[in-house]
Amino acid sequence: MITLAVETSCDETSAAVLDDEKVLSNIISSQLFHTKYGGVVPEVASREHLKKIVEITDAALLKAGVTLNEIGLLCATSEPGLIGALLVGSNFTKSMAIALDRPFISVNHIQAHLYSNFLAGQRIEFPFLGLIVSGGHTLLILVEDFFRHKILGSTIDDAAGEAFDKTAKLMGIEYPGGKTIDENSRKGNKYFHKFPEAQLKDNEFDFSFSGIKTSVMYYLKKIEFEKNRSDELVNNICASFQEAMVNSLFSKALKASAKFNVKIISVSGGVSANSGLREKFNTLEAKGYRIYFPPFEYSTDNAAMIGLTGFYKHKYVYNNKNNNFDSLKLNAKPRLDYENF
């Protein structure tokens, strides 16, 4: 089965072609110009998707060596994300589905991050724990089988990536600052300063990151950061902040692992590219855990994960039935539907 998938939920225009689970092409165009605004401007993002979508899709088909007639399934991200951006990709792909008379699958972007760990031939045994850490969401879930997800916890304020980006901004690091914090951390001392991790009483598996971010803000004021700024200081603060973030994510995952007696953990989403996070979780391998991270190219937003998730949904939820489902009538949704995840 040849699948064509499109992703436009935020600031990446991406198209991918898969042959069953094998990625034949995965073209990603990132809208780097948002940097100058300090964040993604939704309307500008939508317009840029509109400009790029045909060219990126053509490039994906060309690289895969696949013609339109060979496509058996069309998939696009339809939730959650920036509504205008989602509409560009999902309506474009639905139109192709109508024109080619092929089934269309609408894909949940967060589920796609979860299944991104099945790309590149990785197979994860069920049940496993899924920790999804992206720019907009942070979820800890028990994955019992394909599309049988039980949400154990989520963030009550900032998402993990959001906390990285906002903290980076406090230090004058360009948006999106997560990757730069990671790079700086490698040159810094993670024990330089201890930033407090939140302790939540209501649900032990929920996350909170705005406290860590705020304590960085107060700390910067206290040490008169702007006056005393040096590369060494920035690297040390980045490393200390990252340490607090990593420990907070790690301790929740460990707690859930003990409670549900599951020693297989999958970490995915943009923040899963973080070297400190990878290092910390990988120490568990020596203790009999199995730890999965996606290959770096599939950590951040890409259409390959949308294609694979659509392919799985078609196979396991719709049992490979060749109709259009109701998806063509379904609208894109900006918010994550926690009840029906």
- Give the binding site for Zn ion (CB under 5 A): 134, 301
Nearer to Zn ion, 113 or 313 (CB): 113
Q: What is the CA 178 to chain-centroid distance, rounded? A: 13
Judged by CB under 6 A, does residue 10 bind ligand KG4? yes
How many of the chain's residues bind ligand KG4 (CB under 6 A)? 19
**Whole-Å CA distances, 65 to 41, 92, 120, 179:** 35, 21, 19, 33
Cβ at position 175, least distance to ligand KG4 in Å: 8
Judged by CB under 6 A, does residue 80 bind ligand KG4? no
Cβ at position 273, least distance to ligand KG4 in Å: 4
Cβ at position 337, least distance to ligand KG4 in Å: 16
Cβ at position 15, least distance to Zn ion in Å: 16
Nearer to Zn ion, 12 or 206 (CB): 12
Helix, strand, coil shares of the chain as percentages rounded to 5?
A: 50, 20, 30
Nearer to ligand KG4, 197 or 301 (CB): 301
Among 84, 130, 188, 269, binds ligand KG4 (CB under 6 A): 269
- Pairwise CA distance, residues 335 & 341, whole Å: 12
DSSP 168: H
Nearer to Zn ion, 162 or 243 (CB): 162
Interface pattern 270-309 for ligand KG4 (x via CB under 6 A)? xx-xx-------------------------xx--------
- Pairwise CA distance, residues 68 & 66, whole Å: 7
Interface pattern 152-181 for ligand KG4 (x via CB under 6 A)? ---------x--xx----------x-xx--
- Pairwise CA distance, residues 286 & 141, whole Å: 23
- Pairwise CA distance, residues 83 & 105, whole Å: 18
Nearer to ligand KG4, 103 or 176 (CB): 176
Binder of residue 211, out of Zn ion, ligand KG4, none (CB less than 5 to 8 A by kind):
none
> Do 240 and 105 touch, CB atoms closer than 8 A?
no
Return the bridge partners of 140, or none: 131, 153
Binder of residue 271, out of ligand KG4, Zn ion, none (CB less than 5 to 8 A by kind):
ligand KG4
The 73-79 sheet, strands edge to edge? 22-30, 12-19, 2-7, 73-79, 104-108
The residue to which tokens 């790029």 are assigned: 52
Judged by CB under 6 A, does residue 134 bind ligand KG4? yes
> Do 250 and 236 touch, CB atoms closer than 8 A?
no
- Pairwise CA distance, residues 108 & 132, whole Å: 13
Judged by CB under 6 A, does residue 184 bind ligand KG4? no
Judged by CB under 6 A, does residue 49 bind ligand KG4? no
Contact residues toward ligand KG4 (CB under 6 A) are 10, 113, 134-136, 161, 164-165, 176, 178-179, 182, 269-271, 273-274, 300-301
